[in-house]
Copies of this chain bind each other. A is one copy, B any other.
Amino acid sequence: MSNEMMPLSILATGGTIEKIYDEFEGSLHNRDTIVKNKILKRLRLPYTDITVRQIMSKDSLFMNDADREFILNSIKDHEQSKFPIVVLHGTDTMDLTSKFCFENYPEVQVAVVFTGSMKPLGFDDSDAYQNVIEAIFAAKILIPGYYVTFHGKLYKVPNLRKNKLRGTFEEIE
């Protein structure tokens, strides 16, 4: 029987999901994570103790292997606690980053779930809210390994790629 709080870490790296509208410049930027204020406040998670850590703030189009190394090292740091991890990441290279982790550190001991969104969090029809709910839920029940959750679907890394035309991901063999 387990009604205790389960810790879970969210590592925010930037990407569309965290873009904020700057009223004075009239443009969208990656700023400090808005996940806490925009999503977590609205969710009911009485048995989950979530920590959000902003480890980077980068459009995933501009990520290189040094950035991916840095993300993997953050995963390793948090893995020691034995608790699940959600990584918020831009969709454009989410397949590459998750594959990078899978290839360089396949022996990960916790569930690591990547997600992001097509539309930034502040929009009233953003898919971020749904995707984060799914990622948190998945991270809590899945066995150790790397996953992507997106639009109601679970992908096993590295069997996925972005389908730009449809604005979502798809499975590959």
Contact = CB atoms under 8 A, between A and B. Distances in A.
Interface of A: 1-3, 16, 19, 21, 23-24, 26-28, 42-48, 59, 118-120, 122-125, 127, 129-130, 133-134, 136-138, 140-141, 149, 151-154, 159, 164, 166-168, 170-173
B122 A152 contact: no
A133 B136 contact: no
Given A28-B28, A44-B152, A173-B1, A130 B127 contact: no
**Main DSSP-derived SS at the A contact region:** loop
A125 B123 CA distance: 8
Taken together, the copies of this chain in the complex come to 4
A3 B123 contact: no
Nearest to A3: B170
Contacts of A137: 133-134, 137-138, 149, 152, 154
Contacts of A159: 1
Contacts of A164: 24
Nearest to A150: B44
* Residue from the set A19, A23, A120, A172 with the largest chain B CB neighbour count within 10 Å: A23
A46 B152 CA distance: 8
Nearest to A27: B28
Contact of A119 (B21, B129, B171): B21
Contacts of A170: 3
Contacts of A24: 164, 167
Given A44-B151, A46-B151, A47-B151, A118 B23 contact: yes
30 contacts: A1-B171, A2-B171, A3-B170, A19-B26, A21-B119, A23-B118, A26-B28, A26-B59, A27-B28, A28-B28, A42-B130, A43-B130, A44-B127, A45-B151, A45-B152, A46-B152, A46-B153, A46-B166, A47-B151, A122-B123, A122-B124, A122-B125, A123-B123, A124-B124, A133-B133, A134-B137, A137-B138, A137-B154, A138-B141, A140-B154
